[in-house]
Amino acid sequence: MAWIEVFVSALCPFAHRVRLVLAEKGVQARETEVDLRNKPLCFLEKSPNGKVPLLDHEGRLVWVAAVIGEYLDEVFPDRPLLPKDPHARARTRILVNFADTRLYARTEALLHSADPRAGGSTSSKIRLQIMAEIADDLRTLESQILTERPQDGSYWLGGEFSLADLSFYPWFEQVCVLERYLGFQMPAECHRLLKWREAIMARDAVRAIARPPEFYLEAYGRLLAI
């Protein structure tokens, strides 16, 4: 049995993505929780960028969630999460990049703007602009990407579950925070996205490690103090 340790933080969606990949693969790993406001020396000595997630696989370090996902898929090929077809594989990577560079990046900026300990302040106008950009990203997913997928399944690639699904899901698990504390509203026309989320939530591995909205609302309520 391979020895694996993964450094995570409870509220980090990228760390949750890695936890989901491990769960889908049925791979056991030691989880080490990192306080991102007071990072322990043992973590900083290992981590090249000081961020979670960080994977330690028998002394070999891998970081960046998207890279860790592909690494785990190669090292543990059972229950593959990357398609064999080159075009489908490329499409998966495009979707992961969309999630990371648009949806998560904008959400991080939005949450950072609301954190009283982040330093500085962001006007309500800019926050509204960021939320409008997030809503546009969701409309893009709904109107372009989901409508172009094969119609033989519930996932991003149709019937084939992939890293793309796992990359987006943590955002949807935490969207309640944006709705409760920042007034964000899911675009009313995003029916396919909601059905996709229901399909992901129904998976055994996702259900096994999912956290309820109350968990995130309580934790972010303390952080944001709003």
Q: Which residue has the tokens 């893009």?
A: 140
Of 48, 29, 163, 9, nearest to 95 by C-alpha is 163
Of 216, 206, 170, nearest to 22 by C-alpha is 206
pLDDT at 114: 74
Q: Look at strands 54-57 and 4-8 and give their pairing.
A: antiparallel
pLDDT at 6: 98
pLDDT at 101: 97
The string of pLDDT tens digits covering residues 203-222 is 999 999 999 999 999 999 99
Residue 147 identity (one-letter amino acid): T
The string of pLDDT tens digits covering residues 62-86 is 999 999 999 999 999 999 999 999 9
Reported pTM: 0.93
For residues 138 and 185, is the Cβ–Cβ distance under 8 A?
Answer: no
For residues 149 and 158, is the Cβ–Cβ distance under 8 A?
Answer: yes
Does position 134 have pLDDT exceeding 90, yes or no?
A: yes
Residue 139 identity (one-letter amino acid): R
Catalytic residues: 12
43/151: higher pLDDT: 43
Does position 146 have pLDDT exceeding 90, yes or no?
A: no
